[in-house]
Structure 1
């Protein structure tokens, strides 16, 4: 299977405002976010990209805009990568939401949290994981096991994808930090994923690119596609 870069959108006009933006339309990148989007072009220059998938929300489309233009790649909009539907919580101040009984459920028992008038976090994880697995299988079939593709989504969505890849229960996903414009990387294999990066802000990304498979006799798998972990740890690249 292939490798997916999980990119959180750049800093938006809602980040830091104290308001839960959710799916509020027309939330743009702010000046910092636009700079982060431009910087992605150079940051990912060493990584060949087979496809770009993006949440329907404007801030995600803006984040991958410069990269898509530089690579002459189209942006495939995937509704299942959209932000959590926070329902009645959308647009409210975090300082008031903190007082709601549901706040503690979101923090400590996320799998049971269902936002009034919106969706549950478990349902969000299910639709996001299904989308990534389906697209990863399709991209692998079309581009091969050494393919790398990128999706741009939202903090809670990416945290839920990482929790799934790490084999963690959704109730633990609040332990994962995913900042605006950060990159996390998961390599999927036949039986399990490997997490290569989490919340990366500027590390060398050359190492996430799977090596081209060397011709071998028989049906042995390449290191990139193997589901086996390296005993004692990898030797680097």
Structure 2
């Protein structure tokens, strides 16, 4: 299958101020967030992306533009509302400090599958739409570009955490155990039997190996030899090739 790179948008002033921005219009990257996005774009510049799909919110679209600008051949870009931030309803725009005093806060922390934001959506609904969108785009990119296709989905922290939880086979009630920092990269491949979670919440490191991943195969017993090592089913001459 294709490979999806899940990219969270860079830092915003709302992140620094401890405000739940949600779907508030006009929330863009701050100076640090732009630098974070540039660093992520540099990491991804060695991986030819087949496409970029972004949340419609400005902070994600800014991050997407920075990613595309560092590609040797600019990939096609799409905006998908299914990747947008959770609808936090009346929580939107409030400080996290104030929200921590709300009874719903403990539900969000310990039983998120039961959390429904007043005037907004549930975390369960957010996960369902986001996972469906990622899988739909993944299948489309593979159909168009082949199983070696690599594409990026630029979205939000809770959205990406929910997608990773699904790929890891975790109940949504455990998704708060996952961390997804600003402009971080997580990597998932949806194989014929199960998703393969290759990386989560990475901020540094070479990604050139992503462009040379082989077909999704059975998990290696014992953990395998790591990225870049020849596979056991490769011909000997190919293993020795420079």
1:15 match: secondary structure: helix
1:16 match: secondary structure: helix
Per-residue deviation, 1:70: 3.5
Per-residue deviation, 1:75: 2.1
- Corresponding residue for 2:69? 69
1:207 match: secondary structure: helix
Counterparts in 2 of 1:76-91, with a 5 A limit?
A: 76-91=78-93
Contact 2:127 2:162 in 1 (8 A): yes
- Corresponding residue for 2:237? none
1:187 match: secondary structure: strand
TM-score, normalised to structure 1, is 0.92
Contact 2:42 2:70 in 1 (8 A): no
Contact 2:45 2:70 in 1 (8 A): no
Distance in 2 between residues matched to 1:135 and 1:24, nearest whole Å: 26
- Corresponding residue for 1:46? 46
Per-residue deviation, 1:86: 0.1
Distance in 2 between residues matched to 1:210 and 1:187, nearest whole Å: 13
- Corresponding residue for 1:10? 10
- 1:231 is aligned to 2:221: yes
> Per-residue displacement from partner, 1:185-221 (whole Å, max 9, x unpaired)?
001111211111111011121233343xxxxxxxxxx
Please list every run of 5 or more consecutive structure 1 residues that lacks an aligned counterpart in the other structure: 212-222
Deviating more after overlay: 9-18 vs 123-132: 9-18
Q: Name the count of aligned residue pairs.
A: 225
Distance in 2 between residues matched to 1:41 and 1:114, nearest whole Å: 35
1:186 match: secondary structure: strand
- Corresponding residue for 1:160? 162
Please list every run of 5 or more consecutive structure 2 residues that lacks an aligned counterpart in the other structure: 229-242
Contact 2:50 2:76 in 1 (8 A): no
1:145 match: secondary structure: coil
- Corresponding residue for 1:205? 207
Per-residue deviation, 1:159: 0.2
Contact 2:161 2:179 in 1 (8 A): yes
CA-atom RMSD in angstroms: 1.1
Q: As a proportion of its length, which structure holds more helix?
A: 2
Contact 2:56 2:80 in 1 (8 A): yes
Contact 1:210 1:224 in 2 (8 A): no
Write out the 4+ residue segments of structure 1 that deviate beyond 3 Å after TM superposition.
none
- 1:118 is aligned to 2:120: yes
Distance in 2 between residues matched to 1:66 and 1:184, nearest whole Å: 18
Deviating more after overlay: 189-198 vs 76-85: 189-198
1:196 match: secondary structure: strand
TM-score, normalised to structure 2, is 0.90
